[in-house]
Chains A and B, each alone.
Chain A
Amino acid sequence: MTARRGAAAAAVLGVVVLAVLGLWRAAGPEQRPSLREQVDAVAATLRCPTCQGLSIEDSTSVLAGGSRQVIEEQLRAGRTPDEVRQYFVDRYGEDVLLSPDPDGPGLLAWLAPALAVAAGGGVVWRWLRRSRRAPAAVPAAATDPDAAAALAAHRTGRLDPDGSSAGEALREALLVRLAAEEDDPADTEALTRADRRLAAAHRRYAARSTPARPRPPGGALPRRAVTVGSAAVLLAAAGIGVVLTLQDRGAEDPVTGEAPGQGAAQPASGTAQLQAAAEAHPQDPAAWLALGRAHDRAGEFDDAVAAYDRALQLAPAADDVVLLRANVLVRAGRSAEALPSLQELAGRHPDDPDLLLVLGLAQYGTGAAEATATLQRFLDLDPGSPAAPGVRALLEGR
């Protein structure tokens, strides 16, 4: 690599030296050219008065001959080529010069090619640099070392993003990354996605220049912060397991989702961090939501409900969170508490299968007769749901 770079540098140096030598030879004092050569040189820079576009040297027209004669006489009299050219400019105007005078607007004509070369070179350089960096950058984006360091710092409580918009985006990305690890450490796709987002957020945070922007109180939940909907389905599936276990029926049947006890058996590694993050930013509903989901996953129902309640206090209009909270209550065997909010949601989203599933389970838990109809509607609306087999088992067993 260094050898190749050295060779490239030597090549560039060689070209530069050659160019300088050429320029020097071209611009430097000539070795006493003959008068004829001098006349030719001056004539070549002047436009023939009677013919468009030709130089006096190239033209054979009547006045071109006179012009050559004048140039020769003046050079013989000891005038410099520039003085001779000025003599013609005084009589024929600036236009008689074939190359524009570098003073005044003619300067643009001289500079334009140099500027164009510089601009083109800049574009090519940037393009080369980007194309060389691009293949490495794409896979690296997911595991940006800086972002990984930021994540580690965040885990140990050493990183606390400021209140700027970039800081909030970073905090959100950190929470999402922790939640993704929490949800399913084997889901590499989700982890990669979260990593990539974290890397982007961290880059923006590192490059931020905007002052801190106060967050509007009670702002809407960052709905994309967590994939609440998919989580609801998975949790509801787990809820079926709870119900089935409670009923002590079909325990040997494979049930979709995970077994209810499993979550509780694995204490959440990220819960403490999420707790710290939420306490550090008590006004951030996303932090409380992430904490609630972690508790939810861990089967710590009361803690989950408390965290969801905090999130809902900050953002009461978040239906997703209301549903998650109700789902936890159902799983905790507190279906009666979940029913009012679920019925309120069902009034506004009558055809949402996720909602119907949790509502049906709550009704089932309280022994309400509508449970069968609600769960049947769920099956009708979303027969392919991962929770569907469990629900069918439930309905058949009834």
Chain B
Amino acid sequence: MDDTSETGNNGIVLKCEGLTKLYTSGLIRTKTVTGAKDVSFGIKRGEIVSLAGESGSGKSTVARMILRLIKPTSGSITLNGRSIYSYDIREYYRQVQAVFQDPYSAFNPFYTVDHVMERAFGLREGSIDPDEKDKIIQSTLESIGLNPSEVLGRYPHELSGGQMQRMLIGRSLLIGSQLLIADEPTSMIDASTRAGVLNLLLSLKKDKGLSVLFITHDIGQAQYVSERVLVMKQGEVVEQGPVDEVFIRPKHPYTKELLAAVPTLYERWDTCR
């Protein structure tokens, strides 16, 4: 792709500056709710950045703005040095894709899961014959450790949450996107399959140079998967930096609180507060 040469191998893929989203409701007496306030950060090629924070802290708002699903009130987002709104919508989604929190809501129960994979071809240029499509889908699924015969042709309710999340990651691979917004991809799936999804992200980062914005409320996962972390509270980024620095020597009281709230093994719960 042309864009990769512009930014170089270690360039910044995505950059957010002063990103703010205010929700206003009511016509005469307006009420304003802050979704995100002055959020600035960048993601490099082949880097996994975690966005941590409690529910309602604005993590998903940031994700949705990056995905062009909602418009920011102010601030700018640039992809490979260009404003994301300067891209044609299809061209943009060829580069930025997402995995959402609830796999059961991400697949339309009306169709078999193939529907989601086939739709992804709509973003590609030119037409591909059906046989070729099937081959690409199968090899992609195999490359992420899914058995195509086990998942294809099934309805969403017949698959496990982990399988579905992997398929969605496979979908963005199929499109060949360079940035993946993973909005709490593991919070609604079994603990036993979580590691599989996390390891898949790590291996894609290593092999394909995939950049990931990993949104989570689980500090442990953030530490496992990412190099850098941003901690959000009430729409603001209160602390950011390398994972080890933030989590071992937290500066902001909220980060300390978050860390203290992580339950640990071999410790009495009432004493760990």
Partners in one complex: no
Taking beta carbons and an 8 Å cutoff, which residues of A are in contact with B? none
